[in-house]
Amino acid sequence: MPSAIEIQAVSKRYGALQALDDVSFRVEAGEFFALLGPNGAGKTTLISAMAGLSRPDSGSIRIMGHDVVRDFRAARMSLGVVPQELVFDPFLSVRETLRFQSGYFGLTRNDDWIDELLFKLGLADKANVNLRALSGGMKRRVMVAQALVHRPPVMVLDEPTAGVDVELRQSLWAFVKELNEAGHTIVLTTHYLEEAETLCNRIAMLKRGKLVALESKDKLLQHGKEREVAFKLAAPLPDSLLPSKVREEDGRIVLKLTDLSQLEGVLATLREADVRVRELNVVEVDLESVFVNMMHGGQG
Amino acid sequence: MQGFLTLFRKELVRFWKVSFQTVAAPVLTALMYQLIFSHVLSRHAEAYPGVGYTAFLIPGLAMMSMAQNAFANSSSSLIQSKITGNIVFLLLPPLTALEFFAAYMLASIVRGLAVGAGVLVVTAWFGLPLPSHPGWALLFGLLGCGVLGTLGVIAGIWAEKFDQLAAFQNFLIMPLTFLSGVFYSINSLPPFWYAVSHVNPVFFMIDGFRYGFFGQADVSPWLSLGVVGGSFILLSGLALWLIKSGYKLRH
Ligand SMILES: Nc1ncnc2c1ncn2[C@@H]1O[C@H](COP(=O)(O)OP(=O)(O)OP(=O)(O)O)[C@@H](O)[C@H]1O
Ligand SMILES: [Mg+2]
């Protein structure tokens, strides 16, 4: 069985900007995969290249074994993409939108599946409403339905929860999870680490066009629990705590804890040694530093 | 094939939903031209032996309206899709370049023919004879709309903003359609403008279309067919190549 997505040495420049820099990885069939990275990291560019919306300068991409350029028809039949930007055709109703989209994929009698999609996405009562008259979140749901009209084995959602309320976010994830359980491969991009954590098996991180990490969720979570705590102490650090010390900055000693629950032990040790704590900060780890740590430490 | 049929149908629905603007309005405009020019120039000499000026004017006006509307259909649809971004829903499915092109181009022909039929119907009482060669008339109608529909596809792909498209329309399409012998027989022109008209494919569309009605024209219908058919093949090739290469559609 071919990989759901196979990305091989893909590079793409926009003028002087290297939007993708020699990116390679695979997503296996049935995975729930997250693509993370800060704004401008190249996530959308990579998805566009998968979908044939943009052409990489070098490298190749296969969807379910089909090259997205040479064998574009089969590749596009295998892929459903929910674009990041909210777009719609203001001339059409929800049902017309989905019928036309089915037709572009060569499907004529698709109404049963369209009805099911409308029901699952909570759009059944909006079927005959013009897209213009829908709220932003509703339009987003229509885009999800559009990406699914041809029942693609691989589905890519580019920040589907941006600007979407909590309720829709949860129902959307429940739906996507259901699709994954039914065998669809899911790739999503998000800025919320928790979303990636609760849903995905594996996570890739892009930064300035480079793939900086590719990990299973469990490994990530372990790194995610690590915390750095900065202490301002009235006396030198007791020897027994030296192994946890990672650095000193601005007169603060920074300790690395594998888990925040270790903090209690550290405080007890300090009390016993009669070292008064003047100030204590838990350094919030952002997603990026988790990954960077992982890159430098986790993989050895 | 199904993909083509669907896109073709969507393009028809798109202009038909606003047919008041896309069909009725240009028919009304052509009727105005007909009223004004036939009033001003009715004592003008016969354009061809046995063909009065008012009758002579009708096929030219119809063809000019067909050309302008065929161009407007594909170009405005494409630029709107590009600017609103919903063109992505056409780029994600497995449509081939030929399916994509044929759907836009044929929908333009349908709009052009609808406008042309409307113009002929409302102006016929000015003395339009039944076509003496209906086959030629239909052939030039189809090909003429095809050429302009194809130009519209090219312009719609090329333009990034509405004003770029407007420039294309105002500086290329309008001069081509107006300086084409719509309002006069080019035999009456001074030599310079006579020569200029002969490099304008719209002139040949109109001349060929007129031949279909009156059985006489400024040049042979075969020459017109060669020019218009050749333009159609060349421009279609260009449009297909642009779509295939992803020019301005796939970055
Ligand atoms: N068509 C384009 N022309 C020029 N530069 C582009 C184009 N598309 C993207 N870029 C640039 O490429 C880089 C990557 O953009 P991309 O949209 O892939 O980022 P992203 O990871 O999706 O970010 P976000 O989280 O904000 O959606 C950015 O610096 C962006 O400005
Ligand atoms: Mg993006």
Residue B97, number of CB atoms within 10 A of its CB? 15
Considering only A280-294, B32-46, B53-67, which range has the smallest mean pLDDT?
Answer: A280-294
Both tokens of A216, joined, read 């299973």
Average pLDDT over residues A132-153: 94
| A143-202: pLDDT as tens digits | 999 999 999 999 999 988 776 778 888 888 899 999 999 999 999 998 777 777 788 889
Any chain A CB within 8 A of the CB of B10? yes
What pLDDT was estimated at residue A216?
80
List chain A residues with CB under 8 Å of B5: 103
Tell me what ipTM this predicted complex has: 0.91
Considering only A47-56, B161-170, B194-203, which range has the smallest mean pLDDT?
Answer: B194-203
Residue A223 in this model has a pLDDT that exceeds 90: no
Residue A115, number of CB atoms within 10 A of its CB? 14
Residue A221 in this model has a pLDDT that exceeds 70: no
Residue from A7, A10, A36, A43 whose mutation best tests the ligand 1 pocket (most atoms within 8 A of CB): A43
Average pLDDT over residues B118-130: 91
What pLDDT was estimated at residue B110?
98
Any chain B CB within 8 A of the CB of A81? yes
Residue in A53, A105, A108 nearest the CB of B91: A53
Residue B222 in this model has a pLDDT that exceeds 50: yes
Residue B15 in domain: no
Task: State how far the Cα of A203 lies from the Cα of A205, in Å rounded to an integer.
Answer: 7
Average pLDDT over residues A252-271: 87
Residue B42 in this model has a pLDDT that exceeds 80: no
Domain boundaries, chain A: 5-222, 225-284
What pLDDT was estimated at residue A299?
40
Q: Please report which ligand is nearest the Cα atom of A40.
A: 1
State how far residue B81 is from chain A, nearest Cα, in angstroms: 8
- Closest-CA residue, ligand 1 atom 19, reads A40
Are B152 and B172 spatial neighbours (Cβ–Cβ below 8 Å)? no
Please report the DSSP string for B104-153 in residue order.
HHHHHHHHHHHHHHHHHHHHGGGTPPPPSSHHHHHHHHHHHHHHHHHHHH
| A72-86: pLDDT as tens digits | 999 999 999 999 999
Task: Work out the pLDDT band at B225, boundaries 50, 70, 90.
Answer: very high
State how far residue B55 is from chain A, nearest Cα, in angstroms: 40
Q: Which of A64, A59, A55 is nearest to A24 (CA)?
A: A59
Better-scored residue on pLDDT, A48 or B191:
A48
Average pLDDT over residues B169-195: 85
Better-scored residue on pLDDT, B108 or B199:
B108
One-letter identity of residue A275: V
What pLDDT was estimated at residue A300?
31
Long-range contacts from A289-296, C-beta under 8 angstroms, 24+ separation? A290/A193, A290/A220, A290/A223, A290/A224, A290/A226, A291/A36, A291/A205, A291/A207, A291/A212, A291/A213, A291/A223, A292/A212, A293/A223, A293/A226, A294/A213, A294/A215, A294/A219, A294/A220, A294/A223, A295/A212, A295/A213
Are B101 and B155 spatial neighbours (Cβ–Cβ below 8 Å)? no
Q: Which of A70, A41, A40 is nearest to A55 (CA)?
A: A70
Average pLDDT over residues B19-48: 85
End-to-end CA, chain B: 26
What pLDDT was estimated at residue B251?
87
One-letter identity of residue A63: I
What pLDDT was estimated at residue A298?
42
Any chain A CB within 8 A of the CB of B7? yes
| B59-106: pLDDT as tens digits | 999 999 999 999 999 999 999 999 999 999 999 999 999 999 999 999
Residue B74 in domain: yes
Average pLDDT over residues A19-33: 96
Any chain A CB within 8 A of the CB of B103? no
Residue B128 in domain: yes
Residue B238 in domain: yes
Average pLDDT over residues A217-244: 81
pLDDT above 90 covers a percentage of chain B that reads 73
Fold of A5-222: Rossmann fold (3.40.50)
Cα A18 to ligand 1 centroid, rounded to whole Å? 10
Any chain A CB within 8 A of the CB of B80? no
Are A7 and A59 spatial neighbours (Cβ–Cβ below 8 Å)? yes
- Domain containing residue B189: 22-41+49-245
What pLDDT was estimated at residue A256?
85
CB contact under 8 A, A87 and B2: no
Residue B4 in domain: no
Q: Which of B238, B212, B241 is nearest to B225 (CA)?
A: B212
| 3-state secondary structure (DSSP) of residue B96 | coil
Residue B108 in domain: yes
Please report the DSSP string for B157-192 in residue order.
HH-SSHHHHHHHIIIIIHHHHHTTSSSS-GGGS-HH
Residue B192 in domain: yes
Tally of domains in chain B: 1
Q: Choose from A236-245, A291-300, B210-219 the range with maximum mean pLDDT.
A: B210-219
| B142-161: pLDDT as tens digits | 999 999 999 999 999 999 99
CB contact under 8 A, B2 and A146: no
Average pLDDT over residues B199-212: 94
CB of A12 sitting under 6 A from ligand 1? no
Task: State how far the Cα of B158 lies from the Cα of B245, in Å rounded to an integer.
Answer: 13
CA A29 to chain centre: 17
Residue B251 in domain: no
What pLDDT was estimated at residue A83?
95
Fold of A225-284: Alpha-Beta Plaits (3.30.70)
